[in-house]
Amino acid sequence: MDKHISLEDTELKYLTIEEAKKATGLRLVLGEYPIPGPWREACKGIFYVKGIPYQSVRTSNENSSDLLIGADNSQSELIDWTAQPSHPVAIWNDERPRSLWYDQLYLADRLSNQCQLIPDNIDERTLMFGTINELAGENGLAWSQRLLMVDAPLKNLPENDESRPFWNLLGSKYGYSEDNADKARLKIISILKKIDTLLTTNQTSKNKYFLASGFSALDIYSACFIGLLKPMPPEKCPMATDFRPAYSSPHTDINEAISKRILEHRDFIYEKYLELPIVF
């Protein structure tokens, strides 16, 4: 697959929701934030490797200060359009909005035959979807890491700290409690060990992917979701400086579970298939 595919626009120029409603083709509500949210980056990635041009969409009045203070003033239009408050969302022509990762993957698969992402073999297919769900699904790796991200601020910040509303908002979205945060660390480690084992089992001198048959959506999701624990350096991932510490785990046992093999796989997938540097 030639990663230098021709898209209409490789720089993200955002439509408003009002503009996006009047447009046709593929629109991705991504959120105009300078951070590599894993669901956002994986959604971009599957359409990128499929060679499907899209228009990026922002929600109204969003900016980085909204993130920092926990403002929620940008969601009403998104809810009216997509019946839910989160992004990414994929909208194809007049079809229903797709806010779930597997719906987005099936849409990409239907719209383009380029670069097969869903295996034909049922055993590989169930393995792939199950493993992606451990990364991207409720109570999976990213969900659990969000619980850990809010744990220290909510335990340590004074009630009147100006950044506390942001952490309260994030914590409520992911069901934060001290008990859930304690369980989240062990869950992350178990998922990291599982994907390392899967790579160990199927990688050979001729195959650098999770599945024996080769490249699949799982490779994209793993590469993007590991960035929530171990982001690439600024020249490849120029995220907002204030957020980089939150995208790096302070837990020694989690960092030890991020094997060299997992990181090498991440770098290989980005270099061969995805956009570098990451664009926001």
Q: Is the pLDDT of residue 106 over 90?
A: yes
The C-alpha atoms of residue 154 and residue 105 are separated, in whole angstroms, by: 35
**Per CATH, is 14-111 categorized as 3.40.30.10?**
yes
DSSP of 133-161: HHHHSTTSHHHHHHHHHHHHHHHHS-TT-
Q: Is the pLDDT of residue 70 over 50?
A: no
The C-alpha atoms of residue 99 and residue 37 are separated, in whole angstroms, by: 14
DSSP of 83-109: SSS-S-EEEETTSPPB-SHHHHHHHHH
More confident residue, 65 or 166: 166
Residue 130: what residue type?
A: G
pLDDT at 75: 66
pLDDT at 280: 85
* Domain ranges for the chain: 14-111, 122-272
Q: Which residue has the tokens 């069901």?
A: 175
Residue 140: what residue type?
A: G
pLDDT at 60: 64
Interval 196-207: pLDDT, tens: 999 999 999 899
Q: Which residue has the tokens 């969409």?
A: 57
Q: What is the pTM of this model?
A: 0.90
Distance from the first to the final alpha carbon of the chain: 23
Percent of the chain whose predicted confidence (pLDDT) is above 90: 76
Interval 214-250: pLDDT, tens: 999 999 999 999 999 999 999 999 988 888 888 888 8
Interval 90-103: pLDDT, tens: 999 999 999 999 99
Tokens, residue 22:
């009047």
Work out the average pLDDT over 65-87: 69
Residue 277: what residue type?
A: P
Q: Which residue has the tokens 């959506």?
A: 217
57 membership: H or E segment, kind and range: strand 55-57
Q: For helices 38-49 and 122-136, give the axis angle rounded to 10 degrees.
A: 150
Interval 26-41: pLDDT, tens: 999 998 778 899 999 9
